[in-house]
Structure 1
Amino acid sequence: MTSCTQQSKLPTFKNTGNPLIKDKFTADPAPLVHNGTLYLYVGHDEYYEGQDSASGGKEFNITEWLCYSTQDMQTWTDHGTVLKPTDFSWGIGEAWAAQVVEKDGKFYYYVTAMANEPYNSRVVGVAVGDNPTGPFTDPIGKPLVTDDMTDNGARGWWNDIDPTALIDDNGQAWLCWGNGTCFLAKLKPNMVELDGEIQVVDIPNFVEGPWLSKRDGIYYLTYASFGEGRETISYATASSVGGPWTPHGELTGMAENSFTIHPGVIEFKDKWYLFYHNATLTLDGHKGAIGRRSVCVDELHYNPDGTMQYVEQTKQGVSASR
């Protein structure tokens, strides 16, 4: 009874089109469907004095991950903050892209954060909870992926970001991540350790933000790609997560007013959706910017051969009037 009472006190809002969330700047959407409810995990882009003159990645100020949920894509419940980088003993801030997946009644939250000594770089961490909204705790007391485990390449310490996870039809769990280089590795059955070597996935124009999904026996790797000066979203398909991956070009174009874009692909109640972000929201007099983004959602459709149809980014989104 207590949990029901607490649930009823959580704030709700109606979907009025894109951007979906209008009372906060949000980014890097990661949907999860569990027991007839869609949960949406996002990073909270937060304004600070001096943000508009910052550069070199310092435009971003994300210190927490938020969660929202819906049963119909129209009425959304705001669950507030569900995890922070500082909830990890090694975390010192910078809550970048993350994703939650479920296995055997446990919810695994794969995150990007900045790590303290001895790592001193962005890393991939994992937290686990018994419910989609937490509480989440660190089961291993250290990052899952650290800078010394991957080839730095051209992007140096930025490469271990944006984790996505998927359990394939054989029950094998996979973790994919990267900036500049797309990394892929198997996870052990415990979901908190890598199993074997880290592979590099060679897909064209890869920047960051990979997202693994599956539909009708086809696996999809959707990702932020190089466009004309800003990021777009492209995708590739494979018959197994281990590849080989066949590229299919762009799924959608550049996000309005935003250098970055980040895909989240999910099926919910017999419809498919593409979550992403742009930077069109003005909040408290602050316009959207590279570090003040806004999560959006549009329907995603597939061709008979399993390829994805190009997604036009709309202001209507998936509102009831559509």
Structure 2
Amino acid sequence: MKSLLLSGCCILLMACSTGPVAPVSSDDAAPRAATNPLFTDRHTADPAPLVVGDTLYLYVGHDMARGDEMFNITEWLVYSTTDMATWTAHGPIMKPTDFKWASRDAWAAEAIEKDGRFYFYATVEHDATRPGKAIGVAVSDSPTGPFVDARGSALVSNDMTPQGPHTWDDIDPTVFIDDDGSAWLMWGNANFYYARLKPNMIELDGPILQAALPKYEEGPWLHKRGDLYYLTYASRDRSVSEDELISYATAPSVTGPWTYRGEISGPAQNSFTIHPGIVEFKGEWYFFYHHGGLTVGDQPGGLGRRAVAVEYLSYGEDGRILPITHTVEGVSRPRTR
């Protein structure tokens, strides 16, 4: 995520832990404070947006690494906005050990609504009975929680998928409900997996399948625009760089076949990881990601101390996603098409 963050005297939009942050001005024509990063009082990562009515909810992991630690993500947080300028912090919604079978690691997660309930699919480290990364599902009657384990066991665990290059191939779930009501789960590091969900949203409905995607690394995100399905993901070509980029593929169906369309985002600032989240909200499309450019207190940004940001997302006349530049201004700048 080597975004084009600029040092200097930019006024950052800050989110506190107790409520909303006032906009810079009540005059809609007045310039707003710089958008990125969205939250400056703590480190956040792996953004997952969800629109419910006139509100956008953003689920993130809380990066707590200190010094040379790599990852120490202790809980998931959620923020909300109705205007993309003022954000309300709702506090922690869950921690990994709320899944009694898990031991640690609040890695990437995503929430979705079905029939008035909210399902939260989250990456954790399973306990010693089934070691490796796993995906749990929690449920709530509110997008802000509290969320509770919906199964009492992992939805996906390391022993359920083909032997990958390491024990953390079962991470980064993205969930999608198609127009016909069918629900799908996609996930994976190094390997890209997908499976249909049962109508209850907490069981797999059929086998775990795989698909080949060029330069696929992790962090899949599935969305649909018109009749076209878009699968964005963190990609990496180690012969060129250790940094992840964001690539995407399109398909006429949720199950493919996928056609690779290329890269849409460069690497993050000061972090080799980058994680996409894409959503349409009030007629605009947005691209969420994280970078390592924020200092909080005595802890500079980095791989284990990331910061969530957002940019406008645009499509060409042929339906392709146009390249995205990471900025400090984010969506505080005027929309250009």
**Common topology (TM > 0.5):** yes
1:280 aligns with 2:293: yes
What is the CA distance between 1:47 and its match in structure 2?
A: 3.1
Other-structure match for 2:47:
29
Contact 1:235–1:250 (CA under 8 A) maintained in structure 2 = yes
The separation in 2 between residues aligned to 1:246 and 1:79, in whole angstroms, is 39
SS at match of 2:159: helix
What is the CA distance between 1:61 and its match in structure 2?
A: 0.3
1:184 aligns with 2:202: no
What is the CA distance between 1:286 and its match in structure 2?
A: 1.4
Other-structure match for 1:163:
173
SS at match of 1:265: strand
The two structures have a TM-score, normalised by structure 1, of 0.92
What is the CA distance between 1:258 and its match in structure 2?
A: 1.1
RMSD of aligned Cα (Å): 1.3
SS at match of 2:103: coil
1:318 aligns with 2:331: yes
Other-structure match for 1:4:
none
Runs of 4+ that moved beyond 6 A? none
Contact 2:126–2:133 (CA under 8 A) maintained in structure 1 = yes
What is the CA distance between 1:97 and its match in structure 2?
A: 0.1
| More helix as a share of residues | 1
Other-structure match for 1:42:
60
Other-structure match for 1:105:
116
What is the CA distance between 1:93 and its match in structure 2?
A: 1.0
Contact 2:219–2:234 (CA under 8 A) maintained in structure 1 = yes
Other-structure match for 2:317:
304
Other-structure match for 2:271:
258
Contact 1:74–1:320 (CA under 8 A) maintained in structure 2 = no
The two structures have a TM-score, normalised by structure 2, of 0.88
Q: Which amino acid aligns with 1:128?
A: V
SS at match of 1:282: coil
| More strand as a share of residues | 1
Q: Which amino acid aligns with 2:230?
A: Y
Contact 2:65–2:73 (CA under 8 A) maintained in structure 1 = no
1:211 aligns with 2:229: no
Q: Residue 230 of structure 1 is aligned with which of 233, 243, 254?
A: 243
SS at match of 1:12: coil
Task: Count the aligned residue pairs.
Answer: 306
What is the CA distance between 1:316 and its match in structure 2?
A: 0.3
Q: Which runs of 5+ in 1 are unaligned?
A: 1-8
The separation in 2 between residues aligned to 1:141 and 1:235, in whole angstroms, is 34
What is the CA distance between 1:16 and its match in structure 2?
A: 3.1
Q: Which runs of 5+ in 2 are unaligned?
A: 1-16, 24-32
Q: Could you list the per-position Cα deviations for residues 289-311 of structure 1 after superposition, in whole angstroms to 9, with x for gaps in the alignment?
A: 11000000000001122110111
What is the CA distance between 1:321 and its match in structure 2?
A: 6.4
- Rate the CA distance shift 1:47–1:249 in 2: closer, same or farther, 3 A: same
